Amino acid sequence: MFIVTVGLVACGGGGADSAAHAGGATGTATPEGVFVPTGSLIVARYGQTATLLSSGKVLMAGGFDGENVLASAELYDPGTGTFTLTGNMTAARLAHTAIALSDGLVLVAGGTDSSNTNPTNVLASAELYDPETGRFTATGGLTAARYNLTATLLPSGNVLVAGGTDGATALASAELYDPDTGTFTSTGSLTVARSSHAATSLSDGTVLVTGGYGDGLSPLASAEVYDRVAGAFLPTESMGRARARHTETLLRNGKVLVAGFSPFAELYDSAAGTFADTGTMIQSRVGNSGTLLPDGKVLIAGGSVVHTLDGQTVGPAELYDTGVGTFSATGNMTVVEAAANATLLPNGKVLLAGGYIATPAQNPDAVDPALAGAELFEE
């Protein structure tokens, strides 16, 4: 089994850890929205990061091609529907993070350059991608090597990096990247060590951190909030269900939709500091993406079926309607499989690219074939 990261749109997702078990749900809602194939990746990959640039293009960096961890990167141009290669990263990376900074540069940090379940070479290095030159250059390194971490842009322009694993244990440490100095400095530690968790910047400037794995394969239900003024993490109410490799999506009303790992989704109310159950997903999935659409709905796509022995990937996608708190079916995905990135484009469409076809869980040494396909979701 190999490390797989999910497109996080500033959220964590996927990792080397095996998915725990949860039940699924079924539904027969009439599909809405369609997936249409677009140009293919130059290099088949999964576990890459996807970052929307100020130009409207999308940077795909690193990942795994089924044999090697990749340093290559490519750009998707919505105007032409094609991918082109851009400069290589300074290091091959998997289970890393990438986030667009306020100045338009992209910060890439951490990860591992090995693909086994317990990688020995975990990275503390970081680098910046300049869309103007198409080149990556080194910047200050993390204070701690880590993968399956999260990176969240703060209102100050700094980036909060939290948690992850060093390959042996989950990490509670966190740090801040200052674009002005190009350096990372330690900040308050998480109240619970966690990796493959999710993190989202809230409307009040705090950061919600939920779930993940501690030391072991058991997911966590605990949650906490980072206070950037105090530089500290404070516990908040726990989720109703333990989760890892899930998504958090900030809604227009300021609440956060937490979905994945369990078919039962929840809403976090930052004003009250509480979680409440909302609709049940049509398909139980782990390692999925969650994307807020222009009409306020949330697209849940990709991932793997939870609690199966055959490693089945998920084809259908679904929409969460914030007005009624329910999930409904969309048209089937056509070319993208598990661990696909999802990026909302300026034209309102969602780009999903790459992924893999999961091999049977009974054969943990098998290689999951990487995919080069990409598609667009439109309502």
Q: Which residues of 125-142 are buried (b: 16+ CB within 10 A; e: fewer)?
A: bbbbbebeeeebeebbbb
Average pLDDT, the chain: 88
> Which tops the pLDDT comparison, 36 or 341?
36
User: Does some domain include residue 2?
Assistant: no
Has residue 3 been placed in a domain?
A: no
Residue 323 maps to which CATH number?
2.120.10.80
pLDDT in tens, 326-378: 999 998 888 776 666 899 999 999 999 998 876 555 555 556 689 999 999 99
Q: Is the pLDDT of residue 191 over 90?
A: yes
Q: What's the pTM?
A: 0.90
Mean pLDDT of 162-187: 97
Mean pLDDT of 304-313: 58
Domain count, the chain: 1
pLDDT at 4 over 80: no
Q: What is the pLDDT of residue 18?
A: 29
pLDDT tens figures, 253-284: 999 999 999 999 999 999 999 999 999 999 88
Q: What is the mean pLDDT of residues 304-327?
A: 76
Q: Give the pLDDT band of residue 9 (cuts 50, 70, 90).
A: very low
Q: How confident is the model at residue 147 (pLDDT cuts 50, 70, 90)?
A: very high
Give the span between the Cα atoms of 267 and 373, in whole angstroms: 32
pLDDT at 117 over 70: no
Share of the chain above pLDDT 70, in %: 84
Mean pLDDT of 306-311: 51
Q: Kindly state whether residue 5 falls inside one of the protein's structural domains.
A: no
Q: Is residue 15 part of a domain?
A: no
pLDDT interval class at 120 (50, 70, 90)? confident
228 is a domain residue: yes
At 293, the pLDDT band (50, 70, 90 cuts) reads: very high
How many angstroms separate the CA atoms of 168 and 334, rounded? 38
Instruction: Look up the domain containing 129 and give its range.
Output: 34-378
State residue 20's pLDDT score.
30
Is residue 280 included in any domain, yes or no? Answer: yes
CA distances from residue 322 to 69, 297, 319 in whole angstroms, order as listed: 38, 6, 9
Does any domain span residue 114?
A: yes
Tell me, yes or no, whether 22 lies in a domain.
no
